[in-house]
Amino acid sequence: MPAGTSDLVTDSILVNIENAAWAVNDDYVQTFPKAKPLVKNVIRSIGPGTHQGSLRVTLIGSEERFYDNFKVRQELRSKVGKVNNANKLQIGGGSFFGMPVSIALQSNDLNQLRNAKEELKSELDKIIQLKGCCR
């Protein structure tokens, strides 16, 4: 969210995303009634600034579920939809080492840089394994 956004606004957005995670869990349980629930727990936190926050959704082990991580991310992205005014929305398995793709662009021409950024995001979104990485 933009700097200066109140913690109440940030938290309300995180609550919506958390509800989406539980909705994915509910859909999973309905699809696989004899399986364990997909989501073990969700931890929501605000910070370091009031305009920043995170959710940590813990799933049951991959050996116990019928969805792989990619499918879970797709389902969650679908439920969350567009988050207006979000500067960055990352859905998916960040690891200790961060996300597996990192790209830096540099230019003295700000308009050229913005155009290149949008073109790059568009092209990356076409790669199914990276789908939604650029939101």
Please write the tens of the pLDDT for every residue from 23-41: 999 999 999 999 999 999 9
Q: Do residues 56 and 119 both lie within one domain?
A: no
User: How confident is residue 96, by pLDDT bands cut at 50, 70 and 90?
Assistant: very low
Q: How far is CA 18 from the centre of its chain?
A: 11
Q: Do residues 50 and 108 both lie within one domain?
A: no
pLDDT at residue number 70: 85
Q: Greatest CA span in the chain, whole angstroms?
A: 58
Q: Does residue 107 lie within any of the structural domains?
A: yes
Q: Do residues 40 and 76 both lie within one domain?
A: yes
| Domain housing 43 | 7-96
Averaged pLDDT, 49-78:
90
Report the interhelical angle of 69-80 vs 7-31 (nearest 10°).
130
Beta-bridge partners for 41: 58
- Give the three-class secondary structure for 56: strand
pTM of the prediction?
0.68
Cα 103 from Cα 135, distance rounded (Å): 14
Residue 67 pLDDT exceeds 60: yes
Identity of the amino acid at 11: D
Nearest-CA neighbor of 133 among 112, 105, 106, 102? 102
Cα 34 from Cα 47, distance rounded (Å): 38
Residue of higher predicted confidence among 42 and 89: 42
Tell me the per-residue pLDDT of 39-56, one tens digit each, with 9 for 90 and over: 999 999 998 889 999 999
Tell me the per-residue pLDDT of 104-116, one tens digit each, with 9 for 90 and over: 888 888 999 999 9
Q: Do residues 44 and 107 both lie within one domain?
A: no
